[in-house]
Amino acid sequence: MSLSEHSSGRPFAKLASRLFTIMCASCTLLCVSILAILLWNVTSYGWDSLNWDLLTNYPSRFAEKSGIKSALVGSLYLIGLTALFSVPIGVGSAIYLEEYAPRTRWRTLVQLNIANLAGVPSIVYGILGLGLFVRAMHLNRSVMAGALTLTLVVLPIVILASQEALRAVPSTIRQASYALGATRWQTIWHQLLPAALPGILTGVILAISRALGEAAPLVAIGAATYVRFLPENLLTDEFSALPLQIFNWTDQPQKGFHQVAAAGIVVLLAVLICMNAIAIVLRYRFQKKVKVVTFNRILVYRGIFPKRIETNGARIDIIE
């Protein structure tokens, strides 16, 4: 490198190069320190309110008595239901698009549509939820309406991640499976899905953490911010959610509520960071192991054959 700079006859080339490196490095440093400052600020601000009462109290008109019980439970119901709906539908559409759909212009269009849905602002989904689930299906402001709306928000994430994971499975696995007489679904269920599982799980976790932090669609469908009970009937009862509660407290002028909001944020971030950490670990393992797919499963294929064949009085057990 130094040779090239001397011969190029530009005395400042080395200095410029070094300056540029420092500049880029400081950008990176700045990004990372923003994260650190952010976490530190919120934690130190909400530290005093961060106690057991926070988790067991309902929201109140008084900041010091306010808690996130109903919001936390609401959020857990929401992400549980969202996962229940979005995982089968999302993985199902990924399988259809990758393994079944003929490579025509229609598939390209569907693919483009999904990429676009991933970029649609979440509040627009909220308006859809308001028109479709709250009004047309008369779910009102129930947990179910919220969960269905969030399902639509995170569906593109699940689909795109699952597709990516399915695409990463080596095609030799498919060919070997078909060669042994397996049908399409057997190939998918016994070979592709197990191999793609870590990638799919990563996508699912990311989608769920998105659903956990999402407040805009819930505001649009009119979810309540002041709920002093736990939802019992998922189809009728009103609910609140953690990000919604934080939003409401931040919007209050009193400093006391800001403190409770900070404590709520710490709880929310703690859950999110745990989920993200799992996703990151999964993906790193996945990246390294993607080529080493268990071939032993494919050796004996439990296909259309019965598990045990009895002929000549002798019994052949098909080992697995």
Partner 1 sequence: MVTIANRTEIRTRFAEGVRLRIVFEFFLHGLLFLCAAVSILTTIGIVLVLLMESLQFFRDVSVWEFLTGTEWTPKFKPQHFGILPLFCGTFLVAGGSALIAVPLGLGTAIYLSEYASPLVRDIVKPLLEILAGIPSVVYGYLAVVFVSPVIRSWFPSADLFNAANACVVVGIMIMPMIVSMSEDVLRSVPRSLREGAYALGASKLDVTVRVIVPAALSGIVASILLAIARAVGETMAVSLAAGATPRLTLNPLESVQTMTAYIVQVSRGDTPTGTLEYRTLFAVGLTLFISTFVLNIIAQWILSRVREKYE
Residues 148-207 binding partner 1 (CB under 8 A) are 152, 155-156, 159, 183-185, 206
Residues of this chain, 7-26, that bind partner 1 according to CB under 8 A? 7-8, 13-14, 16-17, 20-21, 23-26
315 has which bridge partners?
310
Among 92, 138, 254, 318, binds partner 1 (CB under 8 A): 92
Question: Does 219 interact with partner 1 (rule: CB under 8 A)?
Answer: yes
309 has which bridge partners?
316
Q: List CB contacts of 254: < 8 A, sequence separation 6 or more.
A: 63
Of 60, 72, 302, 97, the residue nearest 187 (C-alpha)? 302
Among 161, 177, 258, 260, binds partner 1 (CB under 8 A): 258
Q: Which amino acid is at 309?
A: I
314 has which bridge partners?
311
Give CA–CA dist 150/210, Å, rounded: 9
Residues of this chain, 15-74, that bind partner 1 according to CB under 8 A? 16-17, 20-21, 23-28, 30-32, 34-35, 38, 41-42, 45
Cβ closer to partner 1: 35 or 292? 35
- What are all long-range contacts of 182-189, with beta carbons under 8 Å and residues at least 24 apart? 182/301, 182/303, 183/303, 183/304, 184/99, 184/100, 186/301, 186/303, 188/95, 188/99
Among 50, 76, 110, 278, binds partner 1 (CB under 8 A): 110
Among 52, 304, 315, 317, binds partner 1 (CB under 8 A): 304
Among 76, 101, 180, 197, binds partner 1 (CB under 8 A): 101
Number of Cβ within 10 Å of residue 8's Cβ equals 9
| E-strand stretches of the chain | 308-311, 314-317
Among 43, 50, 76, 97, binds partner 1 (CB under 8 A): 97
CB of 83 to partner 1, least distance (A): 15
Question: Does 144 interact with partner 1 (rule: CB under 8 A)?
Answer: no
Q: Which stretch binds partner 1 (CB under 8 A): 56-64, 66-74, 118-126, 294-302?
A: 118-126
Q: Which structure tokens are listed for 184? A: 């399409």
DSSP state letters, 9-61: T-TTHHHHHHHHHHHHHHHHHHHHHHHHHHHHHHHHHHGGG-SHHHHHPPP-S
Among 243, 260, 263, 267, binds partner 1 (CB under 8 A): 243
Side-chain-side CA neighbours of 101 within 13 Å: the count stands at 17
Among 66, 122, 177, 240, binds partner 1 (CB under 8 A): 122
Question: Does 292 interact with partner 1 (rule: CB under 8 A)?
Answer: no
CB of 195 to partner 1, least distance (A): 18
